[in-house]
Amino acid sequence: MIRVTNIAPGPRGLNTKDGPVMLAPGQEMDVNLAEGELASSKGTGWFTFEGQSAKETDKAYDAMSDDELRALLKDKGIIADGRWGHDKLAAEAKKAAQG
């Protein structure tokens, strides 16, 4: 379980293990997220997260496919070098999520 807060100016949705939920701006909710969904949600910059350790967050990025990581980076305006392997993609995604 992790506490998520919508910090975006409009409503935003999450795909939880229990089904989709919509959070209004500023709304907080405790949710169960799959590792891939957590990593993807962190990459949007729309939410803050409490109750998740850095080690667990790292696992979420490591569990994503290379294509998912490239898409996440692209959404952040980062062009992934075609020679980057999974470890480099995951490391860059982690850096991008931290700002």
The CA R_g of the chain, rounded to the nearest whole Å, is 13
pLDDT at 85: 94
Please enumerate in sequence order all residues whose Cβ is within 8 A of that of 42, keeping only pairs 6 or more positions apart, or say none: 49, 57, 60, 97
Count of structural domains, the chain: 1
Q: What is the pLDDT of residues 13-69, one digit of tens each?
A: 999 999 999 999 889 999 999 888 988 898 888 888 887 555 656 677 787 889 988
Whole-prediction pTM: 0.54
Total count of residues recorded for the chain? 99
3-state secondary structure of 11: coil
For residues 94 and 42, the answer to whether their CB atoms sit within 8 Å is no
Does 71 score more than 70 pLDDT? Answer: yes
Closest CA to 93 of 53, 31, 52, 41: 41
* Domain range for 81: 2-98
